[in-house]
Structure 1
């Protein structure tokens, strides 16, 4: 959530942010009104309580005639205090409800618009010309079938559409990717973490995933627990309700977890293969930093993602995501998109977001510096979303006979194997 003081002092900035996101600008005025009611009802309650306490001191000293009047006033005050307390609670609840609907303030340099209005910042690697090499590239599912690596038919039989099995070298390739990604993150100073896949509502709401993204989240009604769509959620909630000393920052974690997404609104999109699925594994970077350092940390996370994709020898580009595609928590987001040959376009593989103080305020995570306590900043960055990375590796490193060259960075984790060979015609 944003700072209410900022809302009062500069409501036009908040309105501009809402407008850029394509969200309800009227929410700002509703929130200002609720906040004013909350503050005035709090003042009214405090005044009545002060009068009540003062009256309590006067009654024992009053004459019999005065006491009757004071007792009558005390009875009225008791009713007024109760009503003021209820109004205060109601106003606070309304303010909190509206505040949770408000997205983070977008960074002023973020391009304005929707999904297609991103700005391309840079490109890396060389896109292969398969025609010049004399063969037509196969898509990842055909390659995965030849390699005995991917089985979507039995995935659908067992669990339904958008589920899959990774088999043989497919399973080994996932483990190689996870180990290589964690090795890079650990070398960069991240603490590796295995995180829970089920979280409480306050953890999910605190990270901003029960607003716009609620339709994409799996909920277990009987237990009131949520399946995470990313280990960002448990990593953000890890320090919930804590105060962290400034000299301990930055704190950096690399979480590995299964992820679950309904893929709401994706009907008909990416139905072939394993690019868009309901369950997948992912290595996620997460940072807690001083807010003054969040923009620099954001750039560092992006550099680590670029280093990872370059090590996989994939052609990719970096885009500055537009305001309407940020998600409620992010003030700014960069995506790294790898080239997918059979689709003839770049597709998102990694993403990194600067959430500034938005999540820490919701989760009550603060930092202490020079005896002052204030919210800190949180940032996240996907290092390796496994299925999409497998898609990019298979398609970009395929050979004419259906085999796939293994990037050098993964070979130590695959027993030195340089090529994945077909096992079926």
Structure 2
């Protein structure tokens, strides 16, 4: 949730952030008005409640007519206190509901605009010229054709069992996913992360606390009988892990690497990347999640990006890094960097990692703080993809060979028993 103190002290900063996101800046004034009414209602309640307590003491020492009068006044006052308490509670709920509609204040330098207004920060590696390597008649195969040839991906039986956008990873496909995820977990361990297998069902307050029940709530699977949500990333469960706690960050950030299945309805994306396993309803991922002091969040964000780049180097993928535009950020993110790998079959870039600095936005909703010399303060959260199923798409396409085989990147070979080439099954 937005920092109300910042909102009161510097509303223009929040208004500018809203404009950059393409959101309504007038919502800032609505929240300020609701917050003022909330504080006024709370003050009125506390003033009358103090008077009620004072009368209680007077009643205890009074007698006769004075006591009867005080008791009558106390009774009338009790009804007023109850009404004011209800008013204060309603005002609090209204103010919080409005405040939760404001996205996190973006970092300085974040590009304004929507999905296509990102800034390219760097290119790493050079896409292969497959026609030059194998001749002008060579036809690039997409990941599904390659995966079916390797008997690594089976979307036909996935659809038979579960419906469209489901799949089986079989044989080398299953082994390749495990190789990627284990490599990511090893990298996380080397950098001080605690490996974590997380729940994939969470309570509504945890899902809401991370900011996922806003504009994109229709992309989340909900189990109404149990009132639980299936997570689209282990970020959700890891954010809830320390809900309501006071953290000790004296020795540095708390870093977790969450391994989980992830579920997304992909509402509104029909007709887009429906072939193969680029945009599916279920996948696996290792997610970096960090709790840190607000002053350290900027640098930690760059560290997570560096770890993502290390994983992409291990997979030997050409990629670019983009600074996501404000209108394409989730409500919790103040800044987001995406790494996009080259996709030869479509001659375009495809997102494979994402890392977001959520500053204090999620922790404020979830009540996670630290104790400092100046008192209690809200901590910051960050997240980032270290590996996920979609990487198989980029690995198969970028390392394909003329005979339908796929070269295994050297960094992944130790996780595949030294295998150098994935051969098609004839």
TM-score with structure 2 setting the length: 0.97
- Alpha-carbon displacement from aligned partner over 1:317-369 (angstroms, at most 9, x marks no partner): 00000000010000000000000001101110000000000011111111122
Of residues 410, 419, 422, the one that matches 2:421 is 419
- Alpha-carbon displacement from aligned partner over 1:255-309 (angstroms, at most 9, x marks no partner): 1100000001101100110000000000111111110010000000001111110
State how far apart, in whole Å, the 2-side matches of 1:97 and 1:249 are: 33
Give the drift of 1:398: 0.2
Give the drift of 1:25: 2.2
Give the drift of 1:75: 2.7
SS of residue in 1 equivalent to 2:216:
helix
Alignment of 1:39-78 (within 5 A): 39-62=39-62, 64-78=64-78
1:93 and 2:93 aligned: yes
* 8 A Cα contact 2:322 2:339, kept in partner: yes
Give the drift of 1:19: 1.5
* 8 A Cα contact 1:156 1:163, kept in partner: yes
* 8 A Cα contact 1:154 1:165, kept in partner: yes
SS of residue in 2 equivalent to 1:246:
coil
State how far apart, in whole Å, the 2-side matches of 1:394 and 1:315 are: 13
Give 5+ residue unaligned stretches, structure 2.
none
Q: Which residue of 2 aligns with 1:274?
A: 277
SS of residue in 1 equivalent to 2:250:
helix
1:147 and 2:150 aligned: yes
- Alpha-carbon displacement from aligned partner over 1:224-281 (angstroms, at most 9, x marks no partner): 1111100001111111111112314311111110000000110110011000000000
Which has the higher mean CA deviation after the structures are superposed, 48-57 or 324-333?
Answer: 48-57
State how far apart, in whole Å, the 1-side matches of 2:21 and 2:124 are: 29
State how far apart, in whole Å, the 2-side matches of 1:83 and 1:299 are: 51
Q: Which residue of 1 aligns with 2:130?
A: 130
* 8 A Cα contact 2:198 2:237, kept in partner: yes
Q: Which residue of 2 aligns with 1:161?
A: 164
Count of aligned pairs between the two proteins: 423
Q: Which residue of 2 aligns with 1:333?
A: 336
State how far apart, in whole Å, the 1-side matches of 2:285 and 2:385 are: 7
State how far apart, in whole Å, the 1-side matches of 2:57 and 2:376 are: 37
Q: Which residue of 2 aligns with 1:26?
A: 26
Q: Which residue of 1 aligns with 2:363?
A: 360
Give the drift of 1:202: 1.4
SS of residue in 1 equivalent to 2:110:
coil
Q: Which residue of 2 aligns with 1:293?
A: 296
Of residues 379, 382, 386, the one that matches 1:383 is 386
* 8 A Cα contact 1:245 1:369, kept in partner: no
Tell me how large the CA RMSD over aligned residues is: 1.3
State how far apart, in whole Å, the 2-side matches of 1:202 and 1:51 are: 36
* 8 A Cα contact 1:249 1:288, kept in partner: no
Q: Which residue of 2 aligns with 1:13?
A: 13
State how far apart, in whole Å, the 2-side matches of 1:138 and 1:61 are: 92
State how far apart, in whole Å, the 2-side matches of 1:392 and 1:130 are: 14
Give the drift of 1:62: 4.8
State how far apart, in whole Å, the 1-side matches of 2:132 and 2:54 are: 91
Give 5+ residue unaligned stretches, structure 1.
none
* 8 A Cα contact 1:255 1:283, kept in partner: yes
Q: Which residue of 1 aligns with 2:115?
A: 115
TM-score with structure 1 setting the length: 0.97
Q: Which residue of 2 aligns with 1:409?
A: 411
State how far apart, in whole Å, the 1-side matches of 2:55 and 2:178 are: 72
Give the drift of 1:49: 1.3
1:203 and 2:206 aligned: yes
Which has the higher mean CA deviation after the structures are superposed, 56-65 or 215-224?
Answer: 56-65
Give the drift of 1:311: 1.4
Q: Which residue of 2 aligns with 1:229?
A: 232
